[in-house]
Amino acid sequence: MGNRSFHGISPAEHKRLRRLTAAPINGLEALTLFVSKIEDILGPSMEKWAESGQPVALMTEMNKVTYMVITNILFGANVDYDMQKMESLFYDLAQGLISIPINFPGCTYHKALKARRELVKILRANLDERRRVKNKKERAIEEKDMLDLLMEVEDEDGEKLDEETIIDVSLMFLLAGHETSAHATMWAAIFLKEHPEILQKLKKEQEEIIRRRPPTQKGLTLKEIRQMNYLSMVVDETLRRGNLSFAVFREATADVDIDGYLVPRGWRVVVYLRAIHVDPENYSKPEEFNPSRWEQTVKAKAGTFLPFGGGSKLCPGMDLAKLEMSIFLHHFVLHYDMERLNPNSPMVYLPLASTYDHCLVNFKRNH
């Protein structure tokens, strides 16, 4: 992932870099820009699935959509490189993260390192081109993407991020903003179809959002999404019940006593998230899909809801992932329906929880 990604820097530098990159990724300006980008990709894609008249592997198609979303958010819509080549390189890089680190031709890890070098070249050329354009004219706010925002950010001393940091952070977000979002969105659709009363309640909320909208407005706004209280509960319950990320990995920085058991300093610790999210001590009827458990009057105890990790290592792509899920679900419950062709499909649990058939469905428009 590079020397300047969040995974490999010191705690102090991690804190500094997170602070500097928070606004370009999760700030109000960034998320406002992202809404229309996501909707412009999701809307036509869903329409295409419905019009095809053929079964759709929802997991596969959502992977394509979330890849288009994250590359559009990062690079903008007008790119002059081979997107299929980029996707192939990105896939090789992702596979390297879960491979045995043998740097020998033909091995997955070797391919990943080679893919990284190619991706770095593409990003570096992109940054050079942006600097040339910037010297000629300032880009309008609506034309900006994440790379623009990362290039503009400054610390308290007026120092900007260096090129190596921008590249490593960008590659990190290409990974973090892709596959997990696709899986979470797939599970949200599955859970809603299994619970029609919840789907109808969500649909009613979305219809009310549309009813209050000015007649001249086209498309969703961030303000509207933040008013979708029940949809937010559906998203959180999907993340809890879907249990996508199976664990986080940490290191004990001091001797820790847990109920009489000593965890010595320096030991590696695996926090098994899937056990936490279905622990009956944390959640009543944990196997049940119940968005209402997230009513504002009910708050999860600290350390019991960790779909994006926690503390200083909280996944920086959390708000973007929830935004993608929210926009998909808004359009899905209002305009579309689906029927699973293999409702009893076997499951795959690593690295992410999914169905073996990639959720094969008949996807159609509501009449």
Q: What is the 3-state secondary structure (H, E, C) of the chain?
A: CCCCCCCCCCHHHHHHHHHHHHHHHHCHHHHHHHHHHHHHHHHHHHHHHHHHCCCEEHHHHHHHHHHHHHHHHHHCCCCCCCHHHHHHHHHHHHHHCCCCCCCCCCCHHHHHHHHHHHHHHHHHHHHHHHHHHHHHCCCCHHHCCHHHHHHHCECCCCCECCHHHHHHHHHHHHHHCCHHHHHHHHHHHHHHHHCHHHHHHHHHHHHHHHHCCCCCCCCCCHHHHHCCHHHHHHHHHHHHHHCCCCEEEEECCCCEEECCEEECCCCEEEEEHHHHHCCCCCCCCCCCCCHHHHCCCCCCCCCCCCECECHHHCCCCHHHHHHHHHHHHHHHHHHEEEEECCCCCCEECCCCCEECCCCEEEEEECC
Known binding-site residues equal 315
Higher pLDDT, 8 or 95: 95
pLDDT at 297 over 70: no
Structure tokens at 338: 């689906």
Digit-coded pLDDT (tens) for 12-44: 888 888 888 777 777 888 888 889 989 999 999
**Which pLDDT score is estimated for 201?**
98
Most confident of 22-31, 61-70, 282-291, 312-321: 282-291
- Domain range summary for the chain, segments of one domain joined by +: 11-76+145-244+275-365
User: Alpha-carbon distance 279 to 241, whole Å?
Assistant: 11
pLDDT at 140 over 70: no
Known binding-site residues for heme equal 315
**Which pLDDT score is estimated for 139?**
56
Instruction: Give the range among 73-82, 84-93, 118-127, 174-183 with minimum mean pLDDT.
Output: 73-82
β-pairing verdict for 354-355 and 336-340: unpaired
Residue 115: closest CA among 129, 96, 128? 96
User: Alpha-carbon distance 85 to 71, whole Å?
Assistant: 13
Q: How confident is the model at residue 136 (pLDDT cuts 50, 70, 90)?
A: low
Q: How confident is the model at residue 46 (pLDDT cuts 50, 70, 90)?
A: very high
Structure tokens at 37: 């980008």
User: Alpha-carbon distance 28 to 149, whole Å?
Assistant: 12
Cβ neighbours for 73, distance < 8 A, ≥ 6 positions apart: 34, 37, 38, 145, 146, 177, 320
The domain 11-76+145-244+275-365: what is its CATH number? 1.10.630.10
Instruction: Kindly report whether the peptide bond that precedes residue 351 is cis, defined as omega within 30 degrees of 0.
Output: yes
